[in-house]
Amino acid sequence: MRFSLLVLALLAAGPAAAWEPDPNGVPPWVVPQGGVPFCLATNSREASTPALSAAFRAAVESAAGRWTAPCSGWCAHVDDCGPPPAWNISTWGVDRVNWMVWLGADYPLGDTSLAVTLVSEISGERADTDILFNDRGFVWVVGDDFPNPDVESVAAHELGHALGLAHYQPASACTDACTDDVYPPAIMCTVYCGGIIRDPTSDDLDGLCVLYPASTVTACAPADGGDPDSGDPDGGDPDGGDQATSDGEADGGDPLVGDPAGRDEPGCQCRGAALPLAALVLAAISRRRARQAA
């Protein structure tokens, strides 16, 4: 098992002008019949009513459904697995449960980090991914309500990391899009500038199709004959907004919490040090508008 952590602070620059693969060399998923499952806990303090919880769930399901293309064999579905058990840094990455959760005081990165995706490689396979949303430093919404982040936009970005994409390069193209008030060149940009940034661009989909080329194997057809719950990719036109960015922060933080330790997937029984793997961070933003924060 390889279980190590890489934190990529947003706004890093680079020379290439395209999508980037996982910098850790973790291989793509072997997509199971019916798609890669994710366990969503709508445990944000903002999802405090059944209606709000349902809206958060619909937003994440829609984000998962946006990562589809005729040239790709990738698909995922979002399940309700109940509340996540308490996390433990030594076991969360090997339980083979792909959690998507909101963390408050125990969110492991700094207050300017919106979310982080952590990926484990077990026996040479991408085997476990957990997406953590920062419920300590942000008020989460469904829609364009600056300066509050849109659940679906951030989930779409983090799901891109979960399937194996790193940040778009060069980062300057992303910040230029914010400054110029245009939709970014990729939802895998190093910065989120606020608003509705939900639809993968052609560059995002190019990366998707290289990592998961279409084949004659219909892995995304559900094994039981029903429809996979991959969300509704409907959502209207993207709104890039006119925004400026601030630097992301990755300060290491406390050990992760929320480990689904009660699920008896043994994972790798390797002995030796277990280090955190691929954490990819989406940065906080500020926006230039009449409603700009003081």
pLDDT score, position 221: 60
pLDDT of residue 51: 97
Give the pLDDT confidence score for residue 112 in this predicted structure. Answer: 84
232 φ, ψ to 5°?
A: -105, 115
Compute and round to an integer the Cα radius of gyration of the chain. 18
CA atoms within 13 A on the CB side of 126: 23
What local confidence, expressed as pLDDT, does residue 70 receive?
87
Residues paired with 38 in a beta bridge:
78
3-state DSSP helix/strand/coil % of the chain, to nearest 5: 20, 20, 60
Q: How many structural domains is the chain composed of? A: 1
Q: Report the pLDDT value the prediction gives residue 37, as an integer from 0 to 100.
A: 95
pLDDT tens per residue, the chain (294 residues)? 443 333 332 322 333 346 666 767 788 998 988 899 999 999 999 999 999 999 999 999 999 999 988 889 899 999 999 888 776 666 677 788 999 999 998 888 888 889 999 888 888 888 889 999 999 989 999 999 988 999 999 999 999 999 999 999 888 898 898 888 889 999 999 888 889 999 999 999 999 999 999 874 556 765 444 443 433 333 333 333 322 232 232 322 222 222 222 222 222 222 222 223 333 344 444 333 322 222
Q: State the DSSP code for 180.
A: T
Domain assignment of residue 97, given as a range: 1-294
Rounded-to-integer distance, Cα 18 and Cα 3, Å = 27
According to DSSP, the β-strands at 125-134 and 76-79 are: unpaired
User: What is the DSSP secondary structure assignment for residue 281, as one 8-state letter?
Assistant: E
Tokens of 32: 């199971």
Beta strands 285-286 and 244-245 are antiparallel
Predicted confidence at residue 179, as pLDDT, reads: 85
Supply the CATH number for residue 170's domain: 3.40.390.10
Residue 66 host element (H or E): helix 50-66
- Find where tokens 């990562």 sit: 67
Indicate the Cα dihedral angle 49, 40, 211, 266, nearest 10°.
170
pLDDT at site 204: 95
